[in-house]
């Protein structure tokens, strides 16, 4: 169950996060090679803003649709409760998606600077944080709770890694200009939460009216996703999220 949940988590990052990193890494490497600290900080902030714009809506979507998605995928291979447990594990771990992307971005800045020691330190801190939480949860948890705890512990370790990476990058490059990132987080989070709330209401309504699990999951997933996307795009237009257009242009360039 943990393996399936972790793979779904990685797919979300792999489609969006890796695409952005692939485009940004040559720019960051050129800036590092040229000793252009301003350029490094600029590209780091750009990558952070684009990542949160891409992944915060996905985070909310995994929280809302996790059980429906895994019921649709795994029902029949496992029983209904197990399929929903996998989805719940995905939902519980979804908060780590953005921190995970931040860690991957930060590590590549260190690697571009021929610094492999700092990434190793960050990795050790993440492993220690995850292991401590898993051991704590294993003392008294049921099997189901332990699965959720392992997934949540992994995401918490990404939060620890992102915070430590930010501190170490700030020590190396000075102020990183993350006020713009915070502003972007606020705008896209507002839009994503509004869209997620509308989608969740539809998911609950469908599941309360359709007893067959897989049919309910299919309808709630398709209808909820359609409503969520429409609300998200409308809300982004209202609050103003220019990074959507810029990220699209960057990926297509």
Whether pLDDT at 195 is above 60 = yes
Dihedral angle sign, alpha carbons of residues 157, 163, 166, 167: negative
pLDDT category of residue 253 using cuts at 50, 70 and 90? low
For all residues of the chain together, what is the average pLDDT?
88
Residue 126 is inside which H or E element, if any?
helix 117-138
Q: How far is CA 245 from the centre of its chain?
A: 20
Q: What pLDDT, on a 0 to 100 scale, did the predictor assign at position 35?
A: 85
Q: 11 or 177, which is more confident?
A: 11
Average pLDDT over residues 124-142: 88
List pLDDT tens digits, range 86-122.
999 999 999 999 999 999 999 989 998 888 999 999 9
CB 165 within 8 A of CB 102: yes
Report the range of poorest mean pLDDT among 96-100, 127-131, 191-195, 206-210: 206-210
- pLDDT at position 153, please? 93
* Mean pLDDT lowest among 5-9, 59-63, 165-169: 5-9
CB atoms closer than 10 angstroms to residue 244? 19
What percent of the chain stands above pLDDT 90?
42
Query: pTM for this one?
Result: 0.89
Dist. CA 175–CA 167, nearest whole Å = 10
- Summarised one tens digit per residue, pLDDT across range 67-92 is 999 988 887 787 778 889 999 999 99
């Amino acid at each position: 169950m943990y393996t399936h949940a972790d793979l779904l988590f990685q797919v979300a990052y792999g489609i969006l996060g890796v695409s952005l990193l692939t485009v940004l890494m040559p720019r960051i490497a050129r800036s590092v090679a040229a000793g252009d600290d301003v350029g490094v900080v600029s590209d780091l902030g750009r990558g952070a803003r684009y990542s949160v714009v891409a992944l915060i809506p996905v985070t909310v979507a995994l929280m809302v649709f996790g059980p429906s998605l895994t019921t649709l995928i795994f029902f029949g291979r496992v029983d209904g409760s197990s399929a929903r447990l996998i989805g719940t594990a995905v939902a519980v771990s979804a908060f780590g998606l953005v921190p995970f992307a931040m860690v991957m971005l930060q590590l590549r800045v260190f690697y571009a600077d021929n610094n492999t020691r700092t990434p190793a330190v960050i990795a050790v801190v993440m492993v220690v944080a995850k292991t401590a939480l898993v051991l704590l949860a294993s003392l008294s948890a049921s099997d189901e709770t332990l699965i959720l705890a392992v997934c949540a512990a992994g995401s918490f370790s990404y939060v620890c890694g992102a915070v430590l990476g930010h501190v170490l990058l700030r020590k190396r490059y000075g102020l990183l200009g993350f006020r713009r990132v915070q502003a972007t987080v606020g705008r896209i989070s507002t839009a994503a939460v509004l869209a997620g709330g509308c989608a969740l209401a539809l998911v609950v309504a469908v599941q309360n009216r359709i007893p067959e699990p897989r049919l309910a999951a299919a309808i709630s997933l398709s209808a909820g996703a359609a409503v969520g996307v429409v609300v998200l795009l409308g809300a982004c237009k209202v609050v103003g999220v220019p990074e959507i257009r810029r990220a699209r242009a960057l990926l297509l360039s």
